[in-house]
A = this chain, B = another copy of it.
Amino acid sequence: MRHLASIVAATADLATPFLVVDEQVMLHNISRLQAKCDAAGIALRPHIKTHKSSEIARRQLDAGAGGVTCATLSEAIALGEAGIGTDVYVSTPIFLNPPKLRLLEQAVELHEKLTLTVDSSDIARSVSAQAPPEVGAMVEVDSGLRRTGVAPERASHLADELGERFRGFATHGGHGYRLGAAEEAGRDERGALAASEAALGRPAGVLSAGSTPTAPHAMGPPVTELRPGTYVYGDHQQVVLGACRPEELAAAVVSTVIHASDDRIVIDAGAKALSKDRAEWLDSYGRIVDHDTAVIDRLNDNHGMVESSGLLAVGDRVAVVPNHICPVVNLFDEFALMGDRLHTVGVDLRGRLR
């Protein structure tokens, strides 16, 4: 992670804490997965909730992505308002009440194509009755995460309920976010999609899987599309899961040591900079570059506490690789993009929860 350490030195003129992205590493991550998908004949539809930035979405589309995945309608609207009208899949089921319908109509106006997610008859009916006719829908099938999505047989029934709007089946193997679980979760994704299509009894169209840890394992029949998000920046938990090499880490939070005493060090990146996201198999709220054994074991809003001494002095600056980059990016309005030169890029889709 020498590249992240060198960014700390190159950004001494910025007040901490801030989010920084290494442009070269990010572009490598984008092109590497795009090339793998191209070679496998699988469409890549990156989930933009990771970066929440129209500029980074543009890089992904320029590299060959045929469309994007959004978590919410307001992310899709913000992307369209930033000048990117594309093929958008909204991956969270949305019950179309009047305010959501207004958002849907805005999003439809801004994009070439818009596809929703359905995982219940309630939502299928709300979509069938109200969505503009050109809006399609994927049926979400649960491959083991136990979040949204239904069992394969129920998924095929929902496909029938949707009629002309039906575009295919989607799943998210988020249960691959456990140590050693990614390969099996990737197989689960393929299995759930195959079973859904078999229950349907005819070609389903798109069969979409997606998560960064499962991507290598889901990259084969019957999958036609992948929707990973985190691969663009990587993060500490992806490294631990084996889904990202340390040299592929593109993003970090730069922070300053504000206190150093006999038994602790305190940095100015707290929960409002690093989030409190920590999988149960991680011991620290992020990894300090060049201080791999330092454990950030407490976070308050504006303070990160390390139970250690002598490692660092007041005024030292460090790069912290977040455990989970998605909620961290969402805390910042902008980030420092370190390429040939340093410039500021907006997280212009930040928030946008609706």
Q: Report chain B residues within 8 Å CB of A332.
A: 351, 353
A122 touches B314 (CB 8 A): yes
A15 touches B148 (CB 8 A): no
Q: Report chain B residues within 8 Å CB of A150.
A: 261
Would A302 and B259 be within 8 Å (CB), given that A97-B315, A148-B266, A276-B327 are in contact? no
Complex: how many Å from CA A120 to CA B259?
7
Would A122 and B315 be within 8 Å (CB), given that A146-B264, A273-B353, A276-B275 are in contact? yes
What residue of chain B has the Cβ atom nearest to residue A72's Cβ?
A: B302
Complex: how many Å from CA A204 to CA B325?
45
Q: Does residue A240 face the partner (Cβ distance < 8 Å to B)? A: no
Complex: how many Å from CA A336 to CA B102?
18
Q: Report chain B residues within 8 Å CB of A123.
A: 258, 314
Stretch of A87-95, A157-165, A184-192 with 4 or more beta carbons under 8 angstroms from chain B = A87-95
A314 touches B95 (CB 8 A): yes
Residues 183 to 210 of chain A near chain B (Cβ within 8 Å) = none
Residues 224 to 279 of chain A near chain B (Cβ within 8 Å) = 256-261, 263-264, 266, 268-269, 271-273, 275-278
User: Could you say which of B98, B302, B330 contacts A13, with CB atoms under 8 Å apart?
Assistant: B98
B92 touches A353 (CB 8 A): no
Q: Does residue A100 face the partner (Cβ distance < 8 Å to B)? A: yes
What residue of chain B has the Cβ atom nearest to residue A145's Cβ?
A: B300
Complex: how many Å from CA A211 to CA B126?
47
User: Could you say which of B98, B120, B271, B326 contacts A260, with CB atoms under 8 Å apart?
Assistant: B120
B327 touches A271 (CB 8 A): yes
Q: Does residue A213 face the partner (Cβ distance < 8 Å to B)? A: no
User: Could you say which of B122, B258, B271, B330 contacts A148, with CB atoms under 8 Å apart?
Assistant: B258
Q: Does residue A301 face the partner (Cβ distance < 8 Å to B)? A: yes
A275 touches B275 (CB 8 A): yes
Would A331 and B351 be within 8 Å (CB), given that A94-B258, A302-B72 are in contact? yes
Residues 31 to 76 of chain A near chain B (Cβ within 8 Å) = 49, 71-74
A354 touches B16 (CB 8 A): yes
Q: Closest approach, in angstroms, between the C-beta of A217 and any C-beta of chain B?
A: 20
What residue of chain B has the Cβ atom nearest to residue A277's Cβ?
A: B276
Q: Report chain B residues within 8 Å CB of A263.
A: 146
What residue of chain B has the Cβ atom nearest to residue A142's Cβ?
A: B261
A266 touches B147 (CB 8 A): yes
B302 touches A49 (CB 8 A): yes
User: Could you say which of B257, B271, B273, B300 contacts A147, with CB atoms under 8 Å apart?
Assistant: B300
Residues 287 to 340 of chain A near chain B (Cβ within 8 Å) = 298, 300-303, 305, 313-315, 326-327, 330-333
Q: Report chain B residues within 8 Å CB of A326.
A: 301
User: Could you say which of B18, B99, B314, B330 contacts A14, with CB atoms under 8 Å apart?
Assistant: B99
B99 touches A15 (CB 8 A): yes
New contact pairs (12) apart from A92-B303, A268-B353, CB-CB < 8 Å: A12-B98, A15-B99, A49-B301, A94-B268, A97-B256, A122-B314, A146-B263, A146-B264, A148-B259, A276-B278, A301-B330, A331-B353
Which residues of A are at the interface with B, using a C-beta cutoff of 8 A?
A: 12-18, 49, 71-74, 92-95, 97-100, 102-103, 119-120, 122-123, 126, 146-148, 150, 174, 256-261, 263-264, 266, 268-269, 271-273, 275-278, 298, 300-303, 305, 313-315, 326-327, 330-333, 350-351, 353-354
